[in-house]
Structure 1
Amino acid sequence: MDLSPIAEEYLKAISTLETEHARPIRTVEIADEVGVTSASVSSMIDTLDERGLLEYTPYKGVELTDDGEEIVTTLVRKHRLLETFLTEQLEYRLTDVHEEVDRLEHHISDEFAQRLATFLDDPTIDSHGDPIPDTALTVSEESTYTPLTEYEVGETVVVAQVPGRDVAIREHLFENGIDPGTTLTIDDVLPVDLITVVPDSVAAPVSLPTHVARRIGARVPDQ
């Protein structure tokens, strides 16, 4: 199905919001996510509804159809393959790669994505530790990693997955030496929704809000 990059961005935004809220998504929420006016969202909703990519229920909101979800999953596959290629082959920094790929993902074909996957040896996770949908567009719904918040003070873990979408969070983590592959020790859990960790590459305590630490996947070393 031939869609404009803007239409694909709307579908991605709706999918992200559906994952976060587990309910139909309101127009104003889409407008905030995409950064446009509610009037622009209403026009796009009509277009995507007519093409069978979402269903709109008055006074409730919109939900993606199976066809809409398939387009989003295809974009996710392309995005994560491109991120892996740029970081592994072209040495892009993790802090820079997401925005670069956001521009590229709309302009490569399914054939190109498959050739890229073959070139990369069919990776199953991307540079942030997120799963890459396979050729059948299936992806594990369950993370194989444990949230950082589940570990106890004194435990040493290896970071395996970091948030990929939020620029500010990515910058904060990477500036403090926390990225996939980092070994760190849980130093303290404070009653003000903060977790203190000590990355081996920095050897100085780093404080993380609990809501951020919860989105960092980790594993026990050599597990």
Structure 2
Amino acid sequence: MASKVSTPGSESSSVQDYVKTIYALSEWHDEPVTSSRLAARLSVANSSVSEMIRKLAELGLVNHTPYRPVELTADGRRLALAMVRRHRLIETFLVRDLDYRWDEVHDEAELLEHTVSDTFIDRLDARLGFPSVDPHGDPIPTAAGAITLPDALPLDSFDDGHSGRVTRISDEDPQLLRFLAAEDIGIGSPVEVLGRAPFGGPLQARVGTGTGARDFSFGKELTGAIWVESVGRHAGCSLVP
């Protein structure tokens, strides 16, 4: 039987933010989580990251050897998933029930996720109908600690002629989200790779179907932020820590 997601308790909000960020940096990209990547994501000095990593190691939340990438322990991963669950359920609630735009919810969720109780989160989950993804397509961990990652890749990973549907859009840049919303590109949008301009130029893609289809030229920032699942492939990988 899967254990329940760890309950955020006596940890400081900084500890909670760090383990969540470590998880987020490795959720979609198979790249080592280094101190410099953490410092860049959290907009803090490298020295602050080093100090916090030592604290996280003392708490048993990360494994870390100096000058090597940092990795979450089983306890660290459970805490990270608990915070991810809170964040993404709150984002979903803000968009569905309070008419927030998808580019507005991140900062609100960052504040609220540290203050609400587990009872509130569980009841919010039930109120929302136990959603599997948030407004950006990021998977929401269950109360049991399972998370299902869609079988998706960044748009720039696909060959010319490949078709699929938008499954996830990175929420790191609110301006990017606003641009896509203005162009009516969102989760579930059909997309086909038409080709690439020479010498590292933009990717040409068709979004939509039939008479509503439109052609776009997407630069590297957009093609890396838009994640696509191939047509006919719906199964993800369910992971339980």
TM over 0.5: yes
Question: In the TM superposition, what are the counterparts of 1:199-214 in structure 2 within 5 Å?
Answer: 199-200=207-208, 205-210=215-220, 212-214=222-224
Judging by fraction of residues, say which structure has more helix: 1
The TM-score, its normalising length taken from structure 1, stands at 0.82
**Structure 2 counterpart of 1:160, one-letter code:** T
* 1:11 match: 19
TM-score, with length taken from structure 2: 0.76
Alignment of 1:165 with 2:180, yes or no, is no
Say if 1:18 and 1:114 are closer, same or farther in 2 by CA, change over 3 A. same
Q: 2:148 aligns with which of 127, 137, 140?
A: 140
Gaps of 5+ in 1: none
Decide whether the 8 Å contact of 1:55 with 1:62 is kept in 2: yes
In 1: Cα distance, 2:201 partner to 2:114 partner? 38
Change (3 A) 1:218 1:26: closer
Q: CA deviation at 1:38?
A: 2.2
Report the aligned-residue RMSD. 2.9
**Whole-angstrom CA distance in 1 between matches of 2:98 and 2:159:** 35
In the TM superposition, 1:83-162 aligns within 5 A as 83-141=91-149, 143-145=150-152, 147-148=154-155, 149-150=157-158, 152-153=160-161, 157-162=164-169
Q: Relative to 1, partners in 2 of residues 1:216 and 1:18: Cα closer, same or farther, differing over 3 Å?
A: closer
Residue type matched to 1:123 in 2?
A: P
Equivalent position of 1:217 in the other structure:
228
Corresponding residue of 2:43? 35
Match of 1:175 in 2: 182
- Opposite residue 57 of structure 2, the aligned amino acid is D
Corresponding residue pairs, total: 219
Is contact 1:81-1:126 (8 Å) kept? Answer: yes
**Alignment check: 8 A CA contact 2:164 2:228 kept:** no
Pick which of 169-178 and 31-40 moved more. Answer: 169-178
Identical columns (%): 32
Opposite residue 172 of structure 2, the aligned amino acid is R
Q: Deviations over 1:37-79 (max 9, x none)?
A: 2222222222222111112212324221111111111111111
